Amino acid sequence: MTKSLQGKIAVITGGNSGIGLAIAKRFVADGATVFISGRRKEQLDKAVSEIGANSIAVQADVSKIEDIKHLFEVVKSSKAFKGKIDILIANAGTGGFSPLGETSEQSYENVFDINVKGVIFTVEEALPLLGNGSSVILTSSIAAFKGLQGSAIYGASKAAVRSLARSWTADLKGKGIRVNVVSPGPIDTPMFAQVGEETTEMIRQMIPLGRIGEPEEAANVYAFLASDESSFLTGADIQVDGGLAQL
């Protein structure tokens, strides 16, 4: 039986950890070749050794346009590249706790430079390499549409991501390029671990499904949006959150 992503080329920013790493593993298992980018070389090397064959690491900071250009130059000049990026996952992101009255200019810039500017220029720079049939998937968060204490700046940055997808869906009319969003709820990754055990337990009790999600459960949703199974979906936003956003 043919695998669902057989022969596809995927680029995953933040593919060296958490959700991005789980996506990379799943895509390779489904037959794709993946380019993963991240800031830290050590973490990238470790990720590639875990993912195995058909994974290529590129060190690139998404808050720097030069680094993003470098990422796509590497993709374009690689032997695996056959003229088109089939799947682009703008997933790299950062958290940040910013209770009202305590937001610094630096923390605001850090969150928006990575979560908004990073997503904008990942897609802008990839555009010449996308084509009919390409699937673009952006990582937002349930913090985009749910009031969570201390999450105003992060939530605003992720709301911007959802808005970008809506406008890009319109901009790409007639081009056959789909743009969808995944909005994870609490998923067990290094980023989520930063909230600490006490907060994790409090959040767990709020979730209708009664537990924190696994990165692989998020990756399943990306695999669906990347594949032809979702061929008539564009501009959609899928929440993978155990029902948390419904409360």
Which residues are known catalytic residues?
A: 154
Which member of 128, 190, 210, 243 binds ligand NAD (CB under 6 A)?
190
Q: Which of 62/177 has CB closer to ligand NAD? A: 62
Q: Which residues inside 67-126 make contact with ligand NAD, applying CB under 6 A?
A: 91-94, 114
Q: Which of 41/84 has CB closer to ligand NAD? A: 41
Instruction: Name the 3-class secondary structure at 242.
Output: coil
Whole-angstrom Cα distance, residue 70 to residue 67? 5
Q: Which of 33/139 has CB closer to ligand NAD? A: 139
The CB-of-162 to ligand NAD minimum distance in angstroms stands at 12
Instruction: Name the 3-class secondary structure at 119.
Output: helix
Residue of 61, 15, 8 whose CA lies nearest to 215: 15
The CB-of-18 to ligand NAD minimum distance in angstroms stands at 2
Please work out the total of residues on this chain that contact ligand NAD, with binding judged by CB under 6 A. Answer: 26
Q: Which of 126/132 has CB closer to ligand NAD? A: 126
Six token digits for residue 71: 């990422």
State which H helix or E strand residue 168 sits in: helix 152-171
> Residue 111 burial by CB count (10 A; 0-12/13-18/19+): exposed, middle or buried?
buried
Which member of 10, 11, 14, 135 binds ligand NAD (CB under 6 A)?
14
- Name the site residues for ligand NAD (rule: CB under 6 A): 13-14, 16-20, 38-39, 61-63, 91-94, 114, 139, 141, 184, 186-187, 189-192
